[in-house]
């Protein structure tokens, strides 16, 4: 950071530069051409390699065409791979590449960074001016001088040509030719955290260091507002663990596996600090997050991050968390070059403007008309812009980009001396037929967030959209990262509303192409938290596609293929559901089980565990091991699974013994009682409201179950004896309680991979089954063997139980809840018909009417969800 004297000098030089903007612009262009006239790119356009000493800017604009990143991409990639000389773009030494976030195209751009002395001088002026403006507002303090800076400077990759590639924000910390000590000394986090390679662990450690040293934090900074919001969300979810780490002076190894990072942070913690942990618990434990940043960091004087452009949407939320701490918007810097200085740091995003830096590059301005984009081809220079007009910025840089369109649309709102003041408006369309703009998508996401708020379904952290031309039918894909997301996305009506809401905000070009059928249906891809940290490895956890579409985009399935897939999973679930009871009864010999039911139950759990592990292995291969799919053995991780595992054990064993009192059709009917128990337990434990239709469905379900069991040809009113009813009710209660408990576990950490949670549930199921084997069938297993009495039917029964859960998951992914209800209803009838031939079951009118009533009740319950 510049000293006060250096800051005043920088401001004076900046004022001088803006007073002579036009002259300085011509000097900048001549300096660039003098240095790089022999570069391969310019050689193709400038006869003789130079314009000559007397050439003006108009000759340059006439001879060198406008360009975009697309025009440089192949050349840049060849340079990165080592198959092309860097002199194709610049004669200066190539230091590294900057890669952009890539959220606009879902593929990062690679911008070459050449060591240009001219560029370095201009860059120094830009940063010194920026620092001086900040120091005028907030003069340095001696004792309170640390910044909670959410920096992630360790993501450096090496190209095939041996060059390093990194985000532009990482370069000051990775540049071996300059000292990083001043910058690192400002950060409260130790260098091991700043230079770490795992953004989640870095973010956690930044928070931990900032909380430990809360009294010395002068400012809170992040490159972008979205990153700061993500950090606050992590604070909301992990504040208890952060307090534990501070209280005991140790960093949780399950969260921070990087040993160097953990050791550096533990050294900063300086041992147990229970008094700090107690204070933090006092603030966070209230559950009131408005103004939390001021509560936790009382000495912080400002928050600094980019809040303009697509980041503007995060400003209200950031203000909510900040309280009375002012939020400062940064300067207009891009990976390609510095562009403008924000002279009024305290202005809100909607009125933030930037003064063009005349020495940063040679600037041109391409007139932009929203009603007819890309009509203009003639640019104007810095002296030709008009207040109130829109332009796309075009730059010629010291580092090998010539008449390069930045892709930003700005509005000229005034002048600072003779240099234009511009306000960022939006990203430029790539062509006249582009189907959506950045503004369209921002409006869509604002409305989408309102829908999420109404349904308490999470909060949008970041998003990006692009046109997928590689699928069978071209279509728009919108990637959205949501925190606190839950399984309610399975509701097909909600998916329909979500997609309709987003499509309604898109422009006329999109709507015309959708109506004509030349554009496929919208795909909304909910991505794993943290995916936008590295768009090249983005992980989709849930894909939202409307049902009434001509194509399923996931897997490029046509409408016909979609119908076939839905039919397959529907038939599979129906057959598995109906055969479950039949196989259990059929596996008996002379009314008894010749095998040990505990070993059969163990085999089911072992098979399901193996399937979960296989699914995890596939995920690890394709996505890598992450915090959300890692198998950990910590007590906090596994302590929640024994209870549901024990409940499922008792319920699963009872389903074998209940057939001493009921037949297969009766079991299929009575099994629906768990809908009632689950619904009531949802209301009691999870406080979920039930609609009047659902309560009516419960009554109807009881009536249907009773009707189906009427016995007109006997003195007993009901076919099923009292013991059978008691066992059915106990099974329903156990199933309901275990299901509600398991859902509570899942929703406590919604981002956790479901296969990890299933794996631990099945592991404890296996352990409890081993205990059951020892207490119930130990002698039989020891004397006759584990698999004694097993037959082909027994093996089929075990496979049926293991695969039923997968079939339900497939239905929920590729069909909908109505299909599940249909399968349940058909299964009741199918079980009865098959039992007539296999077991001599008598299909009575009472059974037919009762099963019909049960089917109607199940359907009413499924559609009767309360509207929120």
At 465, which CATH number? 3.30.70
Specify the 3-state DSSP secondary structure of 153. Answer: coil
Mean pLDDT, the chain, whole residue set: 79
Residue (of 688, 708, 686) closest to 831 by Cα position? 708
**pTM of model > 0.85:** no
d(CA 746, CA 663): 35
* Same domain (yes/no): 823, 840: yes
SS3 content of the chain, % helix, strand, coil (to 5): 55, 15, 30
Number of independent structural domains in the chain: 2
d(CA 202, CA 187): 13
Residue 8: is its pLDDT beyond 80? yes
d(CA 208, CA 269): 9
Q: What is the pLDDT of residues 810-831, one digit of tens each?
A: 554 444 444 554 565 566 666 6
* Same domain (yes/no): 812, 697: yes
* Same domain (yes/no): 632, 545: no
- Helix (H) or strand (E) segment spanning residue 326: none
Residue 557 CB contacts under 8 Å (≥ 6 apart), including other chains: 551, 565
- For residue 445, the model assigns a pLDDT of 80
Residue 46 lies in a domain: no
Strand order from edge to edge, sheet including 362-367: 332-333, 338-341, 354-356, 419-427, 404-416, 390-396, 362-367
- For residue 738, the model assigns a pLDDT of 74
**Last residue of some domain: 555, 572, 599?**
555
Residue 52 lies in a domain: no
Q: What is the dihedral of CA 228, 230, 236, 238, to 10 degrees?
A: -110
- For residue 118, the model assigns a pLDDT of 87
Report which of residues 585 and 103 the model is more confident about.
585
Residue 365: is its pLDDT beyond 70? yes
* Same domain (yes/no): 457, 537: yes
Residue 580: is its pLDDT beyond 90? no
Q: What is the pLDDT of residues 627-683, one digit of tens each?
A: 667 787 777 778 888 888 888 888 888 878 777 777 666 666 666 666 667 677 766
Residue 156: is its pLDDT beyond 90? no
Q: What is the pLDDT of residues 703-734, one digit of tens each?
A: 766 665 555 555 554 566 777 778 877 877 88
- For residue 78, the model assigns a pLDDT of 93
- For residue 280, the model assigns a pLDDT of 94
Q: What is the pLDDT of residues 436-454, one digit of tens each?
A: 777 778 778 877 777 777 7
Least confident window among 199-213, 755-769, 808-822 = 808-822
Distance of CA 263 to the CA centre of its chain: 29
Q: What's the pLDDT band for 31 if we cut at 50, 70, 90?
A: very high
Residue 102: is its pLDDT beyond 80? no
Domain that holds residue 536: 438-555
* Same domain (yes/no): 752, 843: yes
Residue 148 lies in a domain: no
Average pLDDT over residues 743-766: 73
- For residue 643, the model assigns a pLDDT of 86
**Last residue of some domain: 555, 572, 588?**
555
Q: What is the pLDDT of residues 62-97, one digit of tens each?
A: 889 999 998 999 999 999 999 999 999 999 999 999
**Last residue of some domain: 522, 555, 588?**
555
Are 389 and 354 within 8 A, CB to CB? no
Residue 769: is its pLDDT beyond 80? yes
- For residue 543, the model assigns a pLDDT of 60
Residue 619: is its pLDDT beyond 70? yes
Residue 364: is its pLDDT beyond 90? yes
* Same domain (yes/no): 733, 759: yes
Residue 730 lies in a domain: yes
Token look-up 């053995």 returns 633
Are 682 and 690 within 8 A, CB to CB? yes
Average pLDDT over residues 356-360: 94
- For residue 474, the model assigns a pLDDT of 78
* Same domain (yes/no): 675, 804: yes
Using the Cα atoms of residue 729, residue 733, residue 734 and residue 736 in order, give the sign of their dihedral. Answer: positive
Residue 456: is its pLDDT beyond 70? no
* Same domain (yes/no): 590, 627: yes
Residue 235 lies in a domain: no
* Same domain (yes/no): 802, 852: yes
Q: What's the pLDDT band for 865 if we cut at 50, 70, 90?
A: low
* Same domain (yes/no): 711, 780: yes
Residue 329 lies in a domain: no
- For residue 807, the model assigns a pLDDT of 65
* Same domain (yes/no): 627, 658: yes
Q: What is the pLDDT of residues 220-240, one digit of tens each?
A: 999 888 889 989 988 988 999
Residue 295: is its pLDDT beyond 60? yes
- For residue 321, the model assigns a pLDDT of 94
* Same domain (yes/no): 717, 576: yes
Residue 807 lies in a domain: yes
Q: Token pair for residue 222?
A: 């992040």
Q: What is the pLDDT of residues 493-538, one digit of tens each?
A: 566 677 777 877 777 667 767 766 677 778 887 877 666 665 555 5
Give φ, ψ of 606 to 5 degrees: -65, -40
Report which of residues 505 and 333 the model is more confident about.
333
Residue 417 lies in a domain: no
- For residue 381, the model assigns a pLDDT of 93
């Amino acid at each position: 950071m510049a000293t006060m004297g250096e800051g005043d000098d920088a401001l004076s030089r900046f004022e001088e530069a803006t007073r002579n903007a036009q002259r300085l612009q011509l000097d900048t262009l001549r300096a660039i051409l003098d240095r790089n006239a022999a570069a391969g790119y310019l050689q193709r356009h400038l006869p003789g390699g130079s314009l000559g000493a007397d050439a003006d800017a108009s000759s340059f604009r006439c001879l060198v065409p406008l360009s975009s990143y697309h025009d440089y991409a192949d050349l840049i990639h060849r340079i990165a791979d080592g198959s092309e000389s860097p002199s194709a773009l610049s004669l200066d030494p190539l230091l590294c590449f900057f890669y952009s976030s890539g959220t606009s195209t879902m593929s990062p751009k690679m911008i070459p960074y050449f060591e240009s002395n001219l560029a370095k001088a201009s860059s120094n002026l830009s940063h010194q001016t920026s620092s001086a403006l900040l120091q005028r507002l907030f003069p340095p303090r001696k004792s309170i001088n640390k910044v909670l800076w959410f920096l992630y400077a360790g993501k450096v990759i090496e190209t095939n040509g041996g060059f390093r590639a990194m985000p532009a924000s990482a370069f000051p910390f990775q540049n071996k030719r300059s000292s990083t000590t001043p910058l690192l000394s400002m950060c409260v986090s130790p260098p091991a955290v700043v230079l770490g390679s795992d953004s989640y662990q870095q973010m956690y450690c930044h928070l931990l260091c900032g909380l430990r040293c809360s009294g010395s934090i002068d400012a809170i900074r992040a490159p972008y507002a979205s990153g700061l919001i993500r950090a606050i969300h992590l604070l909301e979810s992990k504040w208890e663990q952060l307090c534990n780490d501070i209280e005991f002076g140790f960093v949780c190894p399950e969260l921070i596996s990087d040993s160097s990072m953990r050791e550096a942070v533990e050294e900063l913690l300086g041992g147990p600090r229970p008094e700090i942990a107690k204070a933090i618990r006092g603030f966070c434990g209230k559950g009131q997050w408005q103004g939390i940043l001021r509560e936790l960091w009382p000495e912080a004087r400002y928050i600094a991050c980019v809040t303009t452009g697509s980041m503007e949407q995060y400003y209200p939320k950031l203000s909510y968390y900040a309280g009375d701490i002012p939020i400062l918007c940064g300067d207009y810097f891009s990976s390609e070059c510095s562009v403008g200085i924000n002279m009024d740091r305290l202005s809100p995003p909607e009125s933030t403007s930037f003064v063009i830096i005349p020495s940063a590059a040679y600037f041109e301005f391409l007139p932009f008309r929203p009603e007819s984009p890309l009509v203009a081809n003639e640019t104007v220079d810095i002296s030709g812009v008009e207040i109130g007009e829109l332009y796309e910025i075009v730059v010629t840089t010291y580092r090998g980009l010539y008449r390069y369109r930045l892709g930003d649309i700005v509005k000229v709102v005034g002048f600072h001396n003779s240099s234009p003041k511009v306000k960022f408006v939006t990203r430029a369309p790539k062509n006249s037929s582009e189907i959506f703009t950045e503004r369209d998508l921002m409006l869509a996401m604002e409305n989408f967030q309102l829908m999420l708020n109404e349904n308490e379904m999470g909060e949008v952290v970041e998003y990006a959209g692009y046109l997928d031309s590689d699928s069978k039918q071209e279509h728009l894909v919108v990637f959205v990262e949501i925190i606190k997301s839950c399984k309610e996305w399975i509701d097909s009506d909600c998916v329909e509303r979500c997609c309709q809401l987003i499509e309604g905000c898109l422009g006329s070009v999109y709507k015309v192409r959708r109506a004509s059928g030349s554009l496929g249906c919208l795909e909304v891809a909910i991505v794993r938290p943290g995916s936008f940290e590295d768009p090249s490895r983005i992980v989709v956890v849930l894909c939202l596609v409307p049902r009434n579409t001509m194509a399923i985009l996931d897997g490029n399935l046509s409408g016909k293929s979609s119908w076939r897939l839905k039919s397959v999973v529907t038939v599979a679930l129906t057959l598995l559901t109906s055969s479950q009871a039949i196989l259990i009864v059929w596996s008996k010999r002379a009314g008894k089980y010749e095998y040990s039911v505990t070993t059969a139950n163990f085999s089911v759990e072992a098979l399901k565990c193996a399937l979960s592990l296989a699914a995890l292995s596939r995920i690890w291969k394709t996505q890598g091991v992450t915090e959300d799919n890692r198998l950990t053995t910590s007590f906090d991780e596994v302590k929640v699974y024994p209870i549901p595992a024990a409940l499922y054990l008792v319920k699963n064993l009872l389903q074998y013994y209940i057939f001493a009192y009921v037949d297969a059709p009766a079991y299929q009917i009575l099994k629906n009682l768990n809908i009632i128990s689950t619904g009531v337990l949802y209301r009691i434990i999870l406080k979920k409201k039930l609609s009047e239709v659902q309560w009516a469905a419960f009554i109807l379900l009881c009536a249907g179950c009773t009707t189906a069991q009427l016995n007109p040809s006997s003195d007993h009113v009901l076919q099923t004896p009292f013991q059978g009813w008691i066992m059915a009710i106990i099974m329903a209660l156990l199933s309901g309680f275990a299901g509600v408990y398991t859902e509570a576990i899942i929703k406590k950490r919604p981002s956790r991979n479901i296969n990890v949670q299933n794996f631990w549930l099945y592991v404890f199921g296996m352990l409890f089954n081993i205990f059951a084997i020892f207490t119930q069938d130990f002698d039989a297993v020891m004397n006759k063997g584990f698999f004694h009495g097993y037959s082909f039917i027994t093996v089929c029964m075990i496979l049926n139980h293991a695969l039923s859960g997968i079939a339900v998951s497939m239905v929920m992914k590729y069909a909908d809840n109505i299909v599940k209800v249909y399968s349940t209803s058909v299964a009741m009838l199918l079980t009865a018909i098959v039992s007539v031939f296999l077991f001599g079951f008598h299909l009575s009118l009472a059974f037919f009417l009762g099963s019909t009533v049960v089917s109607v009740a199940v359907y009413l319950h499924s559609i009767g969800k309360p509207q929120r």
